[in-house]
Amino acid sequence: MIRMKKLWILLSFSLLSCTAVSAANDKTNDKAALKAARALIGRVTPGYERQYVLERIPADPATGEDVFEIDSDKKGKVVLRGNNPVALASAFHWYLKYTCGAQLSWFGDQLNLPERLPQPARKERRTIARREYLEAVGRRISTLIDDFDPTGIVAMQAWSIREPIVRQFPKERLVVLDLNGSTYPGKENFWGYPFVAGNLHNFGGRINLHGDLPLVASNQYRTARLRAANAVGSGLFMESIVQNPVYYALAFEMPMHRDSIDAAEWLDAYTTRAYGAESEAAKRAWRILSAGPYGPGTNGVESSSIIAARPAIDVKKSGPNAGFRIPYDPKSLYEAERLLLQDSARLGGSSLYRFDVVDLQRQIMSNLGQGDPPGDCGGL
């Protein structure tokens, strides 16, 4: 628990220059960066994508700042280089303005480009002064908050956290929210600032059955505390509630435990408490579910329901960034529901039991809607 007089939440910094993603220099990230930049070129200047060569280069070795280059090759193509997608996009924009004489604007574009793109007069390399800009952003935010409330504490989410912004705040005036509880190792433990290790279990209000119960039972706060003395608490940062009650029952209990717990033992006891009576069949049902939608690796799974998708010829998703992958054997839910219904006469008085029965059936129907073959439904 974190005691504070006041808490000001800065949910995001919607600043274009702050959105660069620091990617490791591996082939996967290289490919993704180049693909993103080429897609941008295609959206802004359709049909010109093949006249560019895109290459990844390291950040500025002296400052670590973003850098881009504009060049040409022997085949007459325009060469754009950058250390990340934003740097590549900056190179593209700079080339359009200062080689092609074009101009992009929110109010309209002037893109009278020749069929064959002109070559840059010479190789050009520019560093994007990101650190100074971010430091100025941090100072301004800190000043505004001080003017409004000199005792206020800022809660800054770690989704796209930037060190130059963070360091403009005194450590006693800021707490970092590590939304998925795993960002801090790659951010030098947030440079010594206090942070909360949490879970972003629900993304966008989707209600599919999911949640890594073994991960929650491992006590992420304890793990974070062993790795970083500045871990000060655990938290949940869901974007929706009234879904997956078993996950939240365990998550809200874990701060009371000093160590990890046995997820299977906890789940057996939870089943009896929630349903108000002993039922071996119900416990077996939950063991199946704990190996499926609530098994390891499902904490960040946000597969949408095809039932909620907008009508389309080729439906690919119903949310902003999720497909329809089912990360477990969908037929396992048939047996789980058969077992859950076995003692319905004794358990039916529990509203939690009735919720779980309906929720499980809803998930089965959602899975069927996206192509899960029904097979043998176990007599349901």
pLDDT digit string, tens, across residues 120-140: 999 999 998 778 889 999 999
Angle of helix 263-275 relative to helix 280-291, nearest 10 degrees, comes to: 130
Same-domain check for residues 273 and 354: yes
**Could you tell me if 222 and 339 lie in one domain?**
yes
Clarify whether residues 234 and 343 are in a common domain. yes
Do 303 and 206 lie in a common domain?
A: yes
Say yes or no: 113 and 189 in one domain: no
Query: Is position 302 within any domain?
Result: yes
Q: Would you say residue 270 lies in a domain? A: yes
Q: Is residue 377 part of a domain?
A: no
pLDDT value for 301: 58
Q: Residue 322: its pLDDT value, please?
A: 54
Residue 59 belongs to domain spanning = 17-131
Q: Are residues 71 and 191 in the same domain?
A: no
| C-beta atoms surrounding 369 within 10 Å | 14
Q: Which pLDDT score is estimated for 300?
A: 65
Backbone angles phi, psi at 266, to 5 degrees: -60, -40
Which regions in the chain score pLDDT beneath 70?
1-28, 300-304, 319-323, 372-380
Q: Is the pTM of this model over 0.85?
A: no
Based on the structure, what is the number of domains in the chain?
A: 2
| DSSP 8-class letter at 153 | E
- Are residues 46 and 126 both part of a single domain? yes
- What pLDDT, on the 0 to 100 scale, is given for residue 320? 63
Amino acid (one-letter) located at 76: G
- Whether residues 89 and 219 share a domain: the answer is no
Please tell me whether residues 220 and 77 are part of one structural domain: no
Exposed / middle / buried, residue 346 (Cβ in 10 Å: 0-12, 13-18, 19+): middle
- Strand 153-157 versus strand 174-178 pairing type: parallel
* Within a domain: 9: no
Asked if residue 328 and residue 220 are part of one domain, the reply reads: yes
Specify if 379 maps to a domain. Answer: no
Task: Indicate if 281 and 343 belong to the same structural domain.
Answer: yes
Which amino acid is present at 108?
G
Do residue 216 and residue 351 come from a single domain? yes
Q: Is residue 358 part of a domain?
A: yes
**CATH number, domain containing residue 125:** 3.30.379.10
Looking at residue 128, its pLDDT comes to: 86
**Residue 56 tokens, joined:** 């990844």
